[in-house]
Amino acid sequence: MGIGKVNSLAVASLAKVSSLAKASINKIVSVTASFAAAFTDSISFDFDGSNDYMTGSSQLAAAGTMKTSGSVSVWVKLDSMSANGFIVHWAAEEGTDDQIILIWHNGSAVIRGNVKFGGTSNTVDSGSGLENDGNWHHVALTWLSGSKTSANNITRLYIDGSETNNDAIGNTWGAAEDPAYFTVGRNEIQDNSYFNGHINDLALFDDVLTAGEVSAIYNEGSPKDESDHSGLLAYYTMEAYSDGDTTLADDGSSGYNLTITNSTNIDSTDTP
């Protein structure tokens, strides 16, 4: 074989290798880009602590198994607080004996979960130092009541993927009716205790998240898509919001949209 022909074959082989390498790189870049585009997190809601809040329908309040078991997952960034600030709140139609509350408890300077069934409060607290620290925190509250295995009847609070507190639940939801109210950002019963700070990626589950599931949702501080998570009841990423909107779309499959009250530009670009 002549030297010219060898050189020609070598050049052709190198060109083919280069072409294959470029194709592989382009494919990798394309796949990486598709994963990156799969979940965007560019919008949170900035509650003013004065009168901003959101409400769900009675259908959402009563949906799933919340009066016996459930979970809340949410990202929060607290501003300076001068009073209690409700993050989420389920309540019965009448009275105060049956409620599920996730709140900034100002007197104790902690985030507190309170699963109050039949007039008995079962509370779980975070650690201190979360107020106005400039950081986003992932919060998860879980609860189970009415199990024949009493040791399973418990509420737990997780901050940034780790359990901070738990409390046994001895009672069950006492009201004859299902929960009637679901509210984000204020005390629905007393029309006060407005939340001051940012809220993002709120997810409601009608089952009890495990410690492993909470850790996976926290994802080392980087929110990710939970729309396909088992037990998901409603999901609010805030990404579809535009100034002037009076509703926040449910990004899950149930269509439980929330009504926004007292703000037409509640969105913020400050996200976890």
The residue among 202, 218, 219 whose CA lies nearest residue 44 is 202
- Integer Cα distance of 102 and 87 in angstroms: 5
Mean residue pLDDT across the chain: 90
Q: How many of the other CB atoms lie within 10 Å of CB of 219?
A: 13
pLDDT for 11 equals: 44
Report, as an integer, the average pLDDT of 199-222: 97
Q: State both tokens at 192.
A: 């006060």
Q: Residue 87 belongs to what H/E stretch?
A: strand 85-91
Residue with tokens 């060109």: 15
CA–CA separation, 181 and 183 (whole Å): 6
Q: Is the model's pLDDT at 32 over the cut of 80?
A: no
Whose CA is closest to 155, among 76, 226, 100? 100
Taking the C-alpha atoms of residue 166 and residue 94, their distance in angstroms, rounded to an integer, is 27
The answer, yes or no, to whether residue 22 has pLDDT greater than 70, is no
Length reported for the chain:
272
Q: Which residue has the tokens 């769900």?
A: 56
pLDDT of residue 162: 98
Average pLDDT for residues 193-205, to the nearest whole number?
Answer: 98
pLDDT of residue 52: 96
Those residues with Cβ within 8 angstroms of residue 105's Cβ, 6 or more apart along the chain or in another chain: 84, 111, 112, 125
What separation in angstroms does the CA of 96 have from each of 85, 101, 143, 196? 17, 11, 18, 23
Classify 64 in phi/psi space as left (phi over 0), alpha (psi -120 to 50) or beta: left
Q: Given this model, what pLDDT does residue 188 score?
A: 95
Whole-structure pTM value: 0.86
Distance CA 177, CA 103 (A): 24
Q: Which residue has the tokens 């620290």?
A: 133
d(CA 123, CA 114) in angstroms, rounded, equals: 4
CA distance 36 to 144: 36
pLDDT of residue 34: 40
C-alpha 23/C-alpha 233 separation (Å) is 42
Query: Closest by alpha carbon to 185, among 48, 70, 63?
Result: 48
Helix (H) or strand (E) holding 25: helix 3-38
Q: What number is the average pLDDT over the span 177-204?
A: 97
pLDDT band at 39 (very low <50, low <70, confident <90, very high): confident
Confidence of residue 29 (pLDDT cuts 50, 70, 90): very low
